[in-house]
Amino acid sequence: MNIHTTKSHTMPMADTKTADRDWWRGAVIYQIYPRSFQDSNGDGVGDLLGIVGRLPYIASLGVDAIWISPFFTSPMKDFGYDVSDYCDVDPMFGTLADFDVLIESAHHLGLKVMIDLVLSHSSIEHPWFTESRSSRDNARADWYVWADAKPDGTPPNNWLSIFGGSAWQWDAKREQYYLHNFLASQPDLNFHCEEVQDALLGVERFWLDRGVDGFRLDTINFYVHDKEFRNNPALPVEERNDNIAPKVNPYNWQNHLYSKNRPENLAFLHRFRAVMDEYPAIAAVGEVGDAQRGLEILGEYTRDGEYVQMCYAFEFLSKTLPDAERVGEVMARVARVAKDGWACWAFSNHDVVRHATRWDLPPAALRAYVTLMLCLKGSVCLYQGEELGLPEAEVAYEDLQDPYGIEFWPEFKGRDGCRTPMVWDAEQPNAGFSEGMPWLPVAREHLPLAVAEAEHVPGSLLHHYRRAIGFRHSHRALMKGTMEDLTVEGSVIRFRRLHEGEEIFCAFNLGADPAEVALPEGSWHAIGSELNATAGQDGHAALGPWQCVLMLKAV
């Protein structure tokens, strides 16, 4: 794929009178990991023009928007999540002109474009950090989180990095420690400094002026640290889990009260939202990385229309299989702690083992779970390749790129297994991803599941995703409605969705054995036969393994 074009640097705004500011509520968002989606120039790394060439495929899924993981200028120590220039495109991904083409092409196809902003930290190579570390009295001396050593030379407190070890790195020039919640090459910005906030809001405006429709906000609950640098308390053993960090990482042993989740974060999010509201129909989804209070933080950050529109926590990105009981628990908790907020659900992304492998799901279960997700209250993020049923790829140690996996191998193999190149056509070199040597190997086990093969199989998972997305969009109650009467009976979860006179009854058998469910009283008719939904009779429905019943109330 060779695409060459240019465009002016600004994009026209939508008409504020016709723009749907509520488009995000119930939207289906397709996540693109640009390094691995499509390479247009043969260098083995995916790029922006590669995405442009594949936009018709994404539009064919019926999704509302795309979310593009970072493509900004970066030394790539964490593959773009270490930014050295927030307002430019890294040459490996293309140019700002290429990005303008992407925006225009996506909008032409009816797709919104959301980009991944990494505001909690920058790269160590960012000019802001270069200046900040140069002395203790320069103009940006307090733009990052600096602290003196303890009298014995050890770090200021016990905070840990999510990537392993202390969250503090000694800097010989300033003779101070700087905070890094992730890699040592990713120093944390100091959100207690108003100039830092102003600069980041300037980044927000830059991309809004360029035509983006919203943002995915990386590590949204990590922005602000405790000014007093108080030690995090230990977390009781019974409360530890590996939803956020692998089990072998002692990061899980702390209750992170002071290194993240600070209440001051809301003031910045309020400012961020105010800038979004100056533009038509802009939305943001925040990533809440917390193993204990993720849903509560989701509720805090999305309430009252003052902060971000959506957040996602890691309840359905964890290793725990979301059986009927688990799904019921999560949705009931959301109803309690985020009643006035809005969740965005995902089963897979670029940071976790693909859910087909993580939960060891058969094809029928993969169909049932995506249908369920598209019937839950909230918006939805789909990760590239999950619509094909891609399992986690096996990546040999010598091929690893992820510093996280290299640090904890072999107990934790890192994130490369979910980041291998997208498979488009098994008959093409590198499955159609690139004419050059891919940055990560194309997984041989993925080849039979490639897009070209799935397109020709009417019963493929790919077509099921299309049907499920289309079904969601055909019923406003599923996109924007309330959820009522949630109950769990064995392997069956049931609930109703209601919106402006439309009422839908949903029941899912999330088990490998047959089950039966009582149907609601009244006049209903069966829908969703294209999704393998059964039609009950005589007040009951017999559900096969991984089967559902969907019914629309007559009006």
Cβ-count burial of 59 within 10 angstroms (0-12 exposed, 13-18 middle, 19+ buried)? Answer: middle
Options 278, 304, 500, 538, the catalytic residue: 278
Cα angle at 22 between 19 and 25, to 5 degrees?
Answer: 145
Amino acid at 103: I
Residue 498, token pair as written in the block: 């209601």
Cα separation, 424 vs 499, whole angstroms = 38
**CA atoms within 13 A of residue 468's CA, in its CB half-sphere:** 26
Q: Does residue 123 contact residue 78 with C-beta atoms inside 8 Å? A: no
In terms of phi and psi (left: phi > 0; alpha: psi -120 to 50; beta: otherwise), the region of 124 is alpha
The answer to whether 489 is a known catalytic residue is no
The answer to whether 242 is a known catalytic residue is no
Cβ-count burial of 520 within 10 angstroms (0-12 exposed, 13-18 middle, 19+ buried)? Answer: middle
Buried b (16+ CB within 10 A) or exposed e, 176-209: bbbbbbbbbbbbbbbbbbeebbebbbebbeebbe
Q: Does residue 70 contact residue 116 with C-beta atoms inside 8 Å? A: yes
Cα separation, 375 vs 549, whole angstroms = 12
Cα separation, 383 vs 347, whole angstroms = 8
Q: Does residue 75 contact residue 82 with C-beta atoms inside 8 Å? A: yes
Cα separation, 330 vs 349, whole angstroms = 19
Compute φ and ψ for 344, nearest 5 degrees.
-130, 115
Q: Does residue 34 contact residue 46 with C-beta atoms inside 8 Å? A: yes
- What is the secondary structure of 235-277 as a DSSP string? PPGGG---SSS-TT-GGGGB--TTTS--TTHHHHHHHHHHHHT
Options 218, 287, 300, 386, the catalytic residue: 218
Residue 148, token pair as written in the block: 């003196």
Q: Does residue 276 contact residue 285 with C-beta atoms inside 8 Å? A: no
Please list, in sequence order, all residues whose beta carbon lies within 8 angstroms of the beta carbon of residue 541, skipping any fewer than 6 positions away: 507, 516, 517, 519, 534, 535, 549
For residue 488, the surrounding DSSP H or E stretch is: strand 482-489
Terminal C-alpha separation, the chain = 52
Q: Does residue 181 contact residue 161 with C-beta atoms inside 8 Å? A: yes
Residue 184, token pair as written in the block: 């040592």
Give the three-class secondary structure for 278: coil
Cα separation, 471 vs 465, whole angstroms = 10
Strand blocks (E) in 266-377? 283-287, 310-312, 344-345
Beta strand 176-179 with 168-171 is antiparallel
Compute φ and ψ for 127, nearest 5 degrees.
-55, -30
* Active site amino acids: 218, 278
